[in-house]
Chain A
Amino acid sequence: MENPYYPYPVRIASTVIETEDRNLKTFKFEFLDPADEEKFSYMPGQFAELSVTGKGEIPIGIASSPTEKGFLMFTVNKVGVVSSALHNMVEGDIMGVRGPMGNWYPWEKLQGKNVVIIGGGFAFTTLRSSIVYMLHPDNRKKFGDIHVVYGARSPGMLLYRDELAEWERRDDINMHITVDRADDPDWKYNVGFVPSITEKNAPKADNDTYAIVCGPPIMIKFTQPVLEKLGYAHDHIIMSLENRMKCGIGMCGRCNIGMEFVCKDGPVFTLEELNRTPREY
């Protein structure tokens, strides 16, 4: 019997501080046993339990894309016990990764469709995975237009800044990067909140256009009416939830919204599905 609680042993291959407040760090992991990498086959939108031996586990969205081989990448906000312990770890340290878990963005359904990615703050991790995945030469032709609206408080709070700049230079993806405010006179992108930048730049809704929305509750709250105004149907608005989790496999009983477990049946739901479940997220 496979043990779904067993974390694959991994080595921290690198750590990078992402943001000016130093609260977000990106970790790359390598599997101690290369055979485990095969077993850990995932899709953008899934998450894993990062297992800091001696401290505990935390569910974190997978920021690398399955098209990137040889490592797994996660970006972790320093919040409490486990995430702080993780922030103190260094290259070469051994820990565990358990997963992949949950469902993923509906890549089958999105084939041939336009995709609008809307992200805010540090909830950009699985969106990065998605963008890298869609832009991969094997995949790009499977999708229509790709738009990305991504906002943070300030330029120094944006994740993956080098990649953002690279995507800005490409002509097969429309980037709309924004910050709440910029002190930097060289800031050449948008200034404004995600909902208003979405309103200005997102393509008009049609049956072939889907929005993927990930961000803090306040951003989601104000983006939803904008998308509705643009005509997006609730089954064309895709969201990812974050509930407190432990097992990640639908057994420990804490992450449910109604009969659905966010860890196993989610974390990805359409707004139409969420409308039918109790609002316990």
Chain B
Amino acid sequence: MRFLKITKNDWARGVEGLKDSFRVFGPVLERSHFNFRPLEKGQEPDFSFRNTRLSPKSTVYPQSEILFTYTLDKSRPDHHVHKEPPRDETPRAILGIRPCDAKAFGLVKLNFDTPEYKDPYWLSAYEATTLVGLACDEPCSACFCTSAGSGPFDEAGLDVLLKDEGDHYLVKVLTEKGGKLVSAAGWAGEASGAEKAFVDGAAVAAEKITSFVSADKLAGKVTNQLHNAKFWDDVAFSCINCGTCTFLCPTCWCFDIQDEVAGTDGVRMKNWDSCMFPLFTLHGTGHNPRGQKTDRVRQRFMHKLKYFVDRYDKGIMCVGCGRCVQHCPVNIDIRRVCEIMNEYEPEPETCPA
């Protein structure tokens, strides 16, 4: 493992240099909140954020993405045939991503990179991306990353981890990709004793996390018993199916496919979608297997906390970033729901005497 120490001037110069060979994304203040955006020449990532309002998933997985283009003009020889648009595979760097959000990419990858099928759009963007994390020294109150399989210094999804030391950064180079980025930025200056600063920093930050979930018993539950449990109506009662939770979440990946035509030119595109919307599962016949609000709220939590756990054996589909907890307009809290599910014991079968 390589450690570097770079001054904030080196940092700024390096970031500018990176823009020659990378598309660089970083947190930017937009009115009241931060989001990850492509950085223009001369624009620095603003690290005075705690975390961004939207997750950085759109840097790899745009909210709307063209899969194919085609023409309906029958005088053209290739009319009605789908053509892949050229993909921008320029290397990308995401600067200042929080460790939990980086870990989330690894969970989403399980969906888009399977033994049977690979999503070339998501995967090529992901592979072109180098993730430069910023360790969380001051986690938010709604964060519960340490009990959701991640943590304020989690290295799992990252290529590089930065630790802010006031007038300089300590840099931990985690992967080969990370090494290349560091060289491209011209960052040198080995910091041999820095290991300890990361270990200590991680321990201090973890101490500041005050909220937790227990997910240890979820894998052992019987799916249908959890699904049929009586608590779902209560959990879903106040939900207004706005979709904020799935929109903000770094691990939510569901999408829709739509065609759009203007004149004789058309595109087929992939758009973010949400299990919270009734149209998501509505059949052409009018039948809807998740027609009630409770069905949809249950789907969101069962997917994250049970189906995903069972399918991949990689823990829950949540990294504890706290966004859905902070921004749900009616305070539906995944920490509480996880607790209810984890502690659930099926009602004893009453003997039909």
Which A residues are within 8 Å of any B CB, using their own CB? 1-7, 9, 32, 51, 53-57, 79-80, 83, 93-96, 217, 242-244, 246-247, 249-259, 264, 276-281
**Out of A2, A9, A252, which one reaches B254, CB within 8 Å?**
A252
Contacts of A2 in B (CB 8 A): 118, 120
The CA of A52 and the CA of B281, in the complex, are separated in Å by 21
The CA of A12 and the CA of B268, in the complex, are separated in Å by 21
The CA of A137 and the CA of B255, in the complex, are separated in Å by 44
Are B223 and A254 closer than 8 Å at their CB atoms? no
Contacts of A278 in B (CB 8 A): 223-224, 227, 302
Of B84, B123, B299, chain A has the most CB atoms within 10 Å of the CB of B299
Q: 23 A-B pairs, CB-CB below 8 angstroms?
A: A6-B68, A6-B84, A53-B259, A54-B80, A54-B261, A57-B257, A80-B284, A96-B80, A247-B255, A250-B116, A251-B112, A252-B257, A253-B111, A256-B299, A256-B307, A258-B223, A259-B308, A264-B117, A276-B223, A279-B289, A280-B295, A280-B299, A281-B289
Cβ of B248 < 8 Å from any Cβ of A? no
Report, as a range, how many residues of chain B touch the other chain: 35 or more
Cβ of B162 < 8 Å from any Cβ of A? no
**Out of A3, A5, A242, A254, which one reaches B280, CB within 8 Å?**
A254
Contacts of B253 in A (CB 8 A): 251, 253
Question: Chain B: which residue is nearest A11 at the CB level?
Answer: B80
Contacts of B68 in A (CB 8 A): 5-6
Q: A236 to nearest B CB, angstroms?
A: 21
Are A250 and B117 closer than 8 Å at their CB atoms? yes
Are A264 and B266 closer than 8 Å at their CB atoms? no
Question: Chain A: which residue is nearest B308 at the CB level?
Answer: A259
Chain B 274-298 interface 0/1 with A at a Cβ cutoff of 8 Å (1 = within): 0100001111110101100001000
**With contact pairs A53-B82, A54-B261, A259-B307 given, residues A252 and B120 touching in the complex (Cβ less than 8 Å):** no
The CA of A258 and the CA of B298, in the complex, are separated in Å by 11
Interchain pairs with CB closer than 8 A, number: 133
Are B311 and A259 closer than 8 Å at their CB atoms? yes
Question: Chain A: which residue is nearest B252 at the CB level?
Answer: A253
**Out of A4, A5, A244, which one reaches B282, CB within 8 Å?**
A244
Q: B140 to nearest A CB, angstroms?
A: 28
**Out of A3, A79, A244, which one reaches B84, CB within 8 Å?**
A3
The CA of A83 and the CA of B72, in the complex, are separated in Å by 18
Contacts of A95 in B (CB 8 A): 80
Cβ of B177 < 8 Å from any Cβ of A? no
Contacts of B303 in A (CB 8 A): 253, 256
Given A54-B72, A244-B284, A246-B256, 9 further pairs, Cβ under 8 A: A1-B123, A53-B81, A79-B284, A95-B80, A242-B283, A252-B257, A258-B227, A278-B227, A280-B295
Q: A253 to nearest B CB, angstroms?
A: 3
Are B81 and A1 closer than 8 Å at their CB atoms? no
Contacts of B280 in A (CB 8 A): 244, 254
Contacts of B255 in A (CB 8 A): 246-247, 251-253
Cβ of B10 < 8 Å from any Cβ of A? no
Interface residues in B211-261 by Cβ distance below 8 A to A read 223-224, 227, 253-259, 261
Question: Chain A: which residue is nearest B285 at the CB level?
Answer: A79
Are A4 and B119 closer than 8 Å at their CB atoms? yes
Cβ of B67 < 8 Å from any Cβ of A? yes
Question: Chain A: which residue is nearest B119 at the CB level?
Answer: A251
The CA of A277 and the CA of B223, in the complex, are separated in Å by 7
**Out of A252, A259, A264, A277, which one reaches B273, CB within 8 Å?**
A252
Q: B269 to nearest A CB, angstroms?
A: 10
Cβ of B310 < 8 Å from any Cβ of A? yes
The CA of A248 and the CA of B223, in the complex, are separated in Å by 24
**Out of A4, A51, A280, which one reaches B118, CB within 8 Å?**
A4
Question: Chain A: which residue is nearest B258 at the CB level?
Answer: A56
Cβ of B141 < 8 Å from any Cβ of A? no
Contacts of B114 in A (CB 8 A): 250
Contacts of B311 in A (CB 8 A): 259
The CA of A279 and the CA of B80, in the complex, are separated in Å by 39
Cβ of B79 < 8 Å from any Cβ of A? yes
Cβ of B210 < 8 Å from any Cβ of A? no
Cβ of B124 < 8 Å from any Cβ of A? yes
The CA of A32 and the CA of B118, in the complex, are separated in Å by 25
Cβ of B70 < 8 Å from any Cβ of A? yes
Contacts of B287 in A (CB 8 A): 217
Considering the complex of A and B, which 10 residue pairs feature the smallest CB-CB distances, nearest first? A253-B254, A79-B284, A94-B80, A259-B307, A280-B289, A53-B80, A249-B117, A278-B227, A1-B120, A4-B117
The CA of A257 and the CA of B84, in the complex, are separated in Å by 32
Are B281 and A243 closer than 8 Å at their CB atoms? yes
Contacts of A9 in B (CB 8 A): 80-82
Contacts of B124 in A (CB 8 A): 1
Contacts of A6 in B (CB 8 A): 68, 82, 84
Interface residues in B131-181 by Cβ distance below 8 A to A read none
The CA of A94 and the CA of B256, in the complex, are separated in Å by 24
Question: Chain A: which residue is nearest B256 at the CB level?
Answer: A246
The CA of A251 and the CA of B116, in the complex, are separated in Å by 11
Are A251 and B111 closer than 8 Å at their CB atoms? yes
The CA of A246 and the CA of B254, in the complex, are separated in Å by 11
Q: B302 to nearest A CB, angstroms?
A: 8
**Out of B70, B117, B227, B290, which one reaches A251, CB within 8 Å?**
B117
The CA of A7 and the CA of B168, in the complex, are separated in Å by 52
Of A6, A244, A276, chain B has the most CB atoms within 10 Å of the CB of A244
The CA of A115 and the CA of B202, in the complex, are separated in Å by 62
Q: A208 to nearest B CB, angstroms?
A: 30
